[in-house]
């Protein structure tokens, strides 16, 4: 139901905007425009103060929490495996329109709750995407966000993680998902303190 309330917030905005359009010139129109402006400010303010997102009236919560350098930072990493058993980091643009970090979040939220056959379906799909991306990159063609405008002109995803555009010339036959954790303070003192845990593995039958 929250979703419908969020939709209603936008629909009222649109309704009041349309009312401005229909109002004749003069006082009535000025009143309609003032109501529209006031509603837009109140809707934006309500979302800001309550921090209940109703995009496109939104909370802008990026970097709003307090970061701690003495706490572990964990990310999931997707690695393709070739026929020789070598691992290759899958490029973050491979999953376009979903970015690598979004896929990581999906993996953390939902993957574990899937039954085994559906886990295989999901990982099999990801392997096919990873292999398609590898093939394009191996042929020197841009993928994902770079496909139309090229790397120089395209709008990157907001998080500028390192690309992995060097790929194996041989196809991937498997996919591994690792969780990599580090404590920033400790990592500075000891670069080997990063831990890497295999979360899931998929192999073509």
Of residues 123 through 182, those in contact with another protein by CB under 8 A are 125, 144-149, 154-162, 182
Nearer to another protein, 147 or 196 (CB): 147
Say how far apart CA 86 and CA 84 lie, in whole Å. Answer: 6
Size, binding site for another protein by CB under 8 A: 80
Residue from 35, 88, 89, 106 in contact with another protein (CB under 8 A): 106
Q: Select the span of 21-29, 81-89, 171-179, 197-205 touching another protein (CB under 8 A).
A: 21-29
Contact 150, 181 (CB under 8 A): no
CB nearer to another protein: give 156 or 171: 156
Closest approach, Cβ 21 to another protein, in A, equals 5
Nearer to another protein, 88 or 157 (CB): 157
Q: Is residue 73 close enough to count as binding another protein by CB under 8 A?
A: yes
First to last CA, the chain: 43
From the list 54-62, 132-140, 171-179, 195-203, the region that binds another protein by CB under 8 A is 54-62
Strands of the 73-82 sheet, one edge to the other: 87-89, 73-82, 172-182, 195-203
On whether the CB atoms of residues 144 and 103 are closer than 8 A, the answer is no
State which of positions 33-52 bind another protein (CB under 8 A).
33, 36-37, 40-41, 44, 47-49, 51
For the segment 76-95, give every residue that binds another protein (CB under 8 A): none
Part in contact with another protein (CB under 8 A); list of ranges 78-86, 101-109, 131-139, 163-171? 101-109
CB of 110 to another protein, least distance (A): 6
**At 36, is the secondary structure helix, strand, or coil?**
helix
Residue among 58, 8, 16, 12 nearest 34 (CA): 16
Q: What DSSP character marks residue 161? A: P
203 is an interface residue for another protein by CB under 8 A: no
Cβ neighbours of 176 (radius 10 Å): 18
- For the CB of residue 85, give the shortest distance to another protein in the complex, in Å: 27
CA–CA dist 149, 83 (Å, integer): 33
**Can you state the angle between helices 2-22 and 27-50, rounded to 10 degrees?**
160
Q: Quote the tokens at residue 128.
A: 């096919």
Using CB under 8 A, which of the segments 82-90, 107-115, 132-140, 195-203 binds another protein?
A: 107-115
């Amino acid at each position: 139901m929250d979703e419908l309330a969020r939709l209603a917030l936008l629909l009222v905005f649109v309704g009041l905007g349309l009312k401005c359009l229909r109002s004749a010139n003069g006082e009535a129109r000025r009143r309609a425009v003032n109501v529209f402006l006031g509603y837009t400010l109140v809707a934006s303010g309500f979302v800001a103060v309550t921090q209940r997102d109703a995009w496109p009236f939104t909370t802008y919560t990026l970097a709003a929490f307090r970061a701690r350098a003495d706490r572990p930072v964990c990310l999931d990493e997707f690695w393709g495996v070739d026929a020789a058993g070598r691992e290759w980091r899958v490029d973050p643009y491979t999953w376009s329109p979903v970015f690598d970090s979004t896929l990581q979040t999906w993996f953390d939220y939902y993957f574990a709750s899937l039954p085994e056959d559906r886990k295989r379906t999901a990982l099999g799909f990801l392997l096919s995407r990873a292999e398609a991306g590898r093939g394009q990159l191996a042929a020197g063609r841009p993928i994902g966000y770079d496909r139309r405008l090229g790397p120089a002109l395209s709008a990157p995803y907001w998080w500028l993680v390192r690309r992995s555009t060097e790929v194996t010339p041989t196809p991937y036959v498997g996919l591994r998902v690792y969780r990599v954790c580090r404590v920033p303070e400790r990592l500075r003192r000891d670069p080997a303190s990063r831990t890497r845990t295999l979360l899931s593995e998929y192999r073509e039958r």
